[in-house]
Chains A and B, each alone.
Chain A
Amino acid sequence: MSNVGIVIVSHSPLVAEGTADMVRQMVGDEVPLAWCGGNGHGGLGTNVEAIMGAIDKAWSEAGVAILVDLGGAETNSEMAVEMIGEPRSQKIIVCNAPIVEGAVMAATEASGGASLKEVVATAHELSPS
């Protein structure tokens, strides 16, 4: 698929899956989408390996935008991007946006064929800072 992919990373698998569900229902299947959540041991948290897997799953040559919830999700996502390494890491951006609204808005933008830069900018507009 040539549209930008969206990855949702939450501490809670329920939040991540629910957010992905909203994206699918509100935006459709035009956007590569993957989610992950939980620490991999049944508890809340995020996990670098799972994030790398989700990026693979949602991979698009147009790039991937990652939506995260709390701090550790951001730290782990940035680590995952670094471990994926160049050249792919150049096309992956961790967004500074609320996870649910950001995912839906970014996916909406992506479904119209927007560039990674445009998709990320749309998500960032939701951020108060």
Chain B
Amino acid sequence: MAGTHTHALFVHGDSELHRLPASPKLGALGLFVLAVVLTPREAIGAFGVHAGLVLLGAWIAGLKPMFMARRLLIEIPFVLFAIFLPFVGGGERIEVVGLSLSIEGLWGGWNIVAKATLGLAASVVLTATTTVPDILSGLDRLRVPRLITSIAGFMVRYLDVIAGEMHRMRMAMLSRGHNPRWIWQLKAYTASAGALFIRSYERGERVYYAMTARGFTGRIPTFDEKARPADWARALSLPAIAWFAAGWGVVAG
């Protein structure tokens, strides 16, 4: 999973989107996703506009279609649920190549697939063009409580360490012939999870003492540049179009 190496999400580049400060990008992403969710499902044209905006973003950032497609794979479980809906949904039904499908369920399925895909694709564009520290300091600038961003910062920083710890324990177990298939073989798993907790906790204590010794006061200094109004204007132009399309969809529907 992507969690084992946190930089895997970032794609190096020097595009307009890469250079934009994180806070306007985060604001634009939030507003865009909100516009997508509020778009009535019958407004197919508005979804076309949204998809166009995401593709535009991906194109500006220089992201390859295969990269986007691969990152979109994680939504498959929900697509399966969406496919299920037309069969179990109530209401009027229509015949499609011999299958009786619920019209309501078809709309519901379309709604989930369209909105989930657009939301996911938009976040992929953000994480591909913004480094994790930038995202966190961007959240700081958007007035997310300092305690939250600091905890998230430490979490992300030590994710690799903890995941590495877990990986080593798993390798040690595998190399000793551990290959559990049944739930009553859980004991080894729980023992390693317990050990992982103790190691994480003790490492947390050590990190805290080490940082206190170096003058840590509970605030982590940020070094990112402040966004200018022009940055905000450029970033918000995309969700502005999406809101216009959504509003048009509401009025027309």
Do chains A and B stick together as partners?
no
Binding site for A on B (CB under 8 A): none
